[in-house]
Structure 1
């Protein structure tokens, strides 16, 4: 007799799928996945069976595939199967056989789900799988998220057997005389999960025979702690992640007040790709290292004087663009420079986005480019030259903005204008100026 009521109650409690939903069941042929199909059939759900042959165990794998095909025929449900070159995939993508099998099956399950209109993919994980996952995470290093174990639902992936432990599954299979196949690799301790299953967990059960129930209670506590942390982080993100165009600014006074700082700062910056090692370096630099730059795969984080500045990585810096004497507008990245001519007398606009230049001093073609190491100019109103890097610091222009400032460079390689900031003193209008070139940053 199958415990259908307990099965459907767990599905309803966790909102895994509706009574009318169509479910794709991942079936290896082992007792866990076979029991799942029998429970779905007894409960009246609509489902199909999907089986992967990873071609790693020769005739044994082919026999498993045939068993699953026959199971689908007996149950009168759709059957989907595929043969993978798992070893070739592992070599090509430079991953382990286990990781290759995982990537291949999950990608294929999702394709089948979409192509055949299944609402969800059901996986036969149970309580002991959760225990093994937590112990693996603890062994390799983990945060709170690694302690919540396997969740009943993760988007389209559902796990309706998480209320059962391995002993209960074995008993149900025997009581109901349900046939299944045994994967011989499950007995090997070559893999970390199997070593935990066969060597570590039995020792733990000697200390606590009710290990599964104890872990289930612990999981409830861990999940509640994770929810509490997520609520705290959601409030902090609204307070501290301040949008500025395509940047995000985090005020340092708020960062310094975080307690516990490392945990919360890691949570705030995780979505931008920063790991715990980088967070440790950042915390060390906070008191005295303004100007430090930290990188993730997608973002740059700059420790400015009063804030942290998060900016997406600029993967493309525009190539230099030539400005000819008869050009009226020139594009450079997301910016445009509009060029007009005027005669003197001329009233200089009080607008940092406009530069009025003595036209007779220009040697065409001019060049429109970004900042380069070693660049210098003579700022308007000064007599001595100044490195652009020092000018940026004095103007409190963050490091990541340097490459975004368009520079107009004369044909003699002198910088004429830091667009939007400062004209070079050598190109200002004087009483001797007769023609004026007007550059406007759009």
Structure 2
């Protein structure tokens, strides 16, 4: 498999992995076996610290266990450190509303990132064949230039050394090296769109052009160059547009539509609106005229005026709420109910959120945080709280100092940066004591009340459902 050898020995590996700790996503399939084996061979030459991670999706019963056992045996044979994690992806997908494919991908990359930590590189075994399928998948679903660029060879701490190698060449490499691998039976089913593309659509390309994979690789390379150039221009303009709670429009005045549409997409993410084609088109039109407003939701608008773009709310959909309460005593527990009204048109709905306030030692609190991680809203340093607690809605001008900074920033700006949806901003809990804001829902705890190694007692605030 000369193609695999070439792409695994060229300057790509040296540039990205030389002397690094490398975590390999290892499914046990031909692609990941080929990648891990070659990195084992190059371990000394590249001074690699090599590890492997395997996520058992628990989707195929005994076959999933077979794959896990194969991975364990392979890593033991070649002296590679291995982490294995089992996740019931079907159950988790049902709970989160995601497709099984999307949920599985998110869980894999979450596991990879955990294993890599702050100093590790992640190597995945995506091939040129995978990239072709991905681009066709994007085309069918609808995409812009970025989607046609397919899977990037390197992004952040993730590298994909096999991206110039076809699946056939990978399997041939395994045969010549006498390497065993497992086959995922679900890849043979056309129930999944990606498998249907692999089995029925891609072969048609090769009927027309036997070298379709090489033509595809040239196309993707050219498109990626265009994408990188445009992205660099847009990032520079975006930096120039930043104001305090608004965006300057002067830097993009007179810019072509290809730039405005990309800026429009960034604006949608910035303000937490859905990144949909219709929204991009409407916001790009607003940027072109430089004046007027676009409705982005009930009583929520993007307003362009006097070379500025900002969020404008015609009316508050969630009536203001405020509740003051005493701190529970050390070791104690209390419950409070925050009542608020959601207003929609001519109708209003009263809603309640019941919160549990519990004071614990730091170690006990850390244990409960893991148990209640889906219900936990805040964990505060109990001994830093001054006077009473107030739970209220955000007010104009609210500011928060984060644990990682010495200065303060408006809550509105934090919401924009973190892309918190507008509806969530209205009902977000702001927790104050007699001195200042301690924490804001969706943003976290401020610097003074943050739990540190010196914290002795913790106030846990969880939602009761």
Normalising TM by the smaller chain, what interval? 0.5 to 0.7
Q: Distance in 1 between matches of 2:194 and 2:259?
A: 34
Partner of 1:349: none
Partner of 2:245: 246
Partner of 1:372: none
SS of alignment partner, residue 175 of structure 2: helix
Which has the greater radius of gyration?
1
8 Å Cα contact 2:51-2:81 kept in structure 1? yes
8 Å Cα contact 1:246-1:312 kept in structure 2? no
Query: 1:292/1:4 Cα in 2 relative to 1: closer, same or farther (>3 Å)?
Result: closer
CA-CA distance at 1:83 after TM superposition: 1.4
Partner of 2:226: 225
Partner of 1:428: none
Partner of 2:261: 263
Partner of 2:54: 51
- What's the TM-score once normalised by structure 1's chain length? 0.64
Partner of 2:334: none
CA-CA distance at 1:269 after TM superposition: 2.9
Q: Distance in 1 between matches of 2:182 and 2:266?
A: 46
- CA deviation string 1:96-144 (max 9, x = no partner): 1112211222112222222xx7611111001011111111111111111
CA-CA distance at 1:78 after TM superposition: 1.0
Query: 1:143/1:6 Cα in 2 relative to 1: closer, same or farther (>3 Å)?
Result: closer
Q: Distance in 2 between matches of 1:268 and 1:333?
A: 24
The alignment yields a C-alpha RMSD, in angstroms, of: 3.4
Partner of 1:185: 186
Q: Distance in 1 between matches of 2:169 and 2:145?
A: 28
Query: 1:86/1:264 Cα in 2 relative to 1: closer, same or farther (>3 Å)?
Result: closer
Q: Distance in 2 between matches of 1:169 and 1:237?
A: 42
Q: Distance in 1 between matches of 2:95 and 2:212?
A: 41
CA-CA distance at 1:149 after TM superposition: 1.0
- What's the TM-score once normalised by structure 2's chain length? 0.61
Partner of 2:73: 70
SS of alignment partner, residue 172 of structure 2: helix
Alignment size in residue pairs? 317
Partner of 2:24: 25
Partner of 2:358: none
SS of alignment partner, residue 292 of structure 1: strand
SS of alignment partner, residue 171 of structure 1: helix
Q: Which runs of 5+ in 2 are unaligned?
A: 324-394, 399-425, 427-465
Q: Distance in 2 between matches of 1:208 and 1:151?
A: 24
Partner of 2:83: 80
CA-CA distance at 1:187 after TM superposition: 0.8
Higher mean alpha-carbon deviation, 149-158 vs 277-286, is at: 277-286
Q: Distance in 2 between matches of 1:38 and 1:94?
A: 37
- CA deviation string 1:371-420 (max 9, x = no partner): xxxxxxxxxxxxxxxxxxxxxxxxxxxxxxxx9xxxxxxxxxxxxxxxxx
Query: 1:295/1:16 Cα in 2 relative to 1: closer, same or farther (>3 Å)?
Result: farther
8 Å Cα contact 2:302-2:311 kept in structure 1? yes
